[in-house]
Amino acid sequence: MTSRTISEIRLVNGSTGDPALFIDYPGRDNAYLFDAGDNSSLDMERLGDLGTVFITHHHVDHFMGLDRIVRANLDRDKTLAIYGPEGTIRKVYDRVKSYEYPYFPFQKIVLEVHELLPSIRRTARLECSLKFPEPEVVESSWDNRVVCDAGGFTIEAAFADHTVPCLAFALVEHAGIHPNPQALANSPLRPGLWVEHVLDQLRQDADPATLLTIGDGSFRLDALRKRYFIESPGSRIAYVTDTAWNERSQPGLLSLAHRANRLYCDCFYADAQATQAEKYLHMTASQTAEFARRAEVDELVLIHFATRYRGHYHELVDEVRATFPRVTAEFEGAENRSRNEQRSSRERED
């Protein structure tokens, strides 16, 4: 159990497709997406819910879905935040500019792009209403840990060690009051901005008798608290992919995933391919297991299995389980997809 406060947590392409993790919370029009590779199983409405996209790196299997994300949000009057490693601003800008736009007045999307380097954060706003002029980049310092803070949550990052600049992320839910997704799903009140408003009031210890207007009704704060909110002990979900496991990456990754409720982790190679893992900077099954064990995570979910193991992916899971028993992988849909893909047996190592 990662957290009772998440309404949806979806490993978009299972353990065998492009790594991508979609996390949504009730009452918020701001879902999180970790990595932007193949996201064709998320419809335009789900992608339109996104508030923040975190990109580990710019290999095609982590970045090619950006077009669908931009398209789903183009006509919205919103700011979509995108975080990634060095080069993200230019790469997002080049992608956006590779299309022609009618620049209708309702196309108001603003892409607020941040790239994170050691101790440095660069930010640029790409604005559709201004016809996407050349980005003005603002540079500031960064503590090499906290990416952003969003009322009750913090996103953290660490530097991975891959063939190109690459980040790993963790979503940290603070202990305290959070919306209860189950209660909100069954509620006559549609989740909306009021959830955030009530949350603010509760976190500020407002008078329990405060009356709040929601739709046509008036509700006491303590009644809303009781019915729609729960106390959470806090949680940590770490997302780590495309990295070597070595002395350069270990301190940051161990700290990022320390005692995580769930760790989604790269398990690209079986131990027999340790040489390839070292060359292409991915993890082997026993390295993944060692990482989970040393980070003392509750639960490990394997991601990014190399296609060379198609038909016997379970061997990767077995190799991990030998050292770390609380491990799972998701295969549903992925095996079907791989049948359609019919990719050559030549290995892609991205």
Q: Give how far the C-alpha of residue 102 lies from the chain's centroid of Cα atoms, to the nearest Å.
A: 31
Does residue number 35 form part of the binding site for Zn ion (CB under 5 A)? no
350 binds Zn ion (CB under 5 A): yes
Quick one: residue 331, left, alpha or beta (phi over 0 = left, psi -120 to 50 = alpha)?
Answer: alpha
Which of 126/157 has CB closer to Zn ion? 157
Nearer to Zn ion, 64 or 214 (CB): 64
Work out whether 91 is an interface residue with Zn ion (CB under 5 A): no
Nearer to Zn ion, 51 or 165 (CB): 165
Residues 209-268 that bind Zn ion (CB under 5 A): 242
Q: How far is CA 312 from the centre of its chain?
A: 28
Q: For Zn ion, which residue of 35, 61, 156, 173 counts as binding (CB under 5 A)?
A: 61
Q: Which of these, 193, 207, 196, lies nearest to 229 by C-alpha position?
A: 196
Q: How far is the CB of 279 from Zn ion (least distance, A)?
A: 13
Q: Say whether 91 sits in a helix, a strand or coil.
A: helix
DSSP secondary structure of 190-256 = PPSHHHHHHHHHHHTT--TT-EEEETTEEEEHHHHHHHHEEEE--EEEEEE-S---STTTHHHHHHH
Of 55-63, 171-179, 248-256, 340-348, the segment contacting Zn ion by CB under 5 A is 55-63
List C-alpha distances in Å: 341 to 11, 16, 144, 267, 338.
19, 12, 38, 21, 5
CB of 200 to Zn ion, least distance (A): 39
Q: Between 49 and 266, whose beta carbon lies closer to Zn ion?
A: 266
Q: Does the protein bind Zn ion through residue 161 (CB under 5 A)?
A: no
The rounded distance, in Å, linking the Cα atoms of 72 and 48 is 5
46 lines the binding site for Zn ion (CB under 5 A): no
Do residues 68 and 60 make contact, with C-beta atoms less than 8 angstroms apart? no
Shortest Cβ 163–Zn ion spacing (Å) = 7
Closest CB to Zn ion among residues 61, 173 = 61
Least distance (Å) between residue 178 CB and Zn ion = 32
Other beta carbons within 10 Å of 294: 14
CA-closest candidate to residue 34, choices 46, 25, 22, 51: 22
**Partners of 221 in beta bridges:** none
- Residue 59 as a binder of Zn ion (CB under 5 A): the answer is yes
Binding-site string for Zn ion from residue 291 to residue 330, where x marks contact by CB under 5 A and - marks none: ----------------------------------------
| Closer residue to Zn ion, CB minimum distance, 5 or 13 | 13
The contact set with Zn ion (CB under 5 A) reads 59, 61, 242, 350
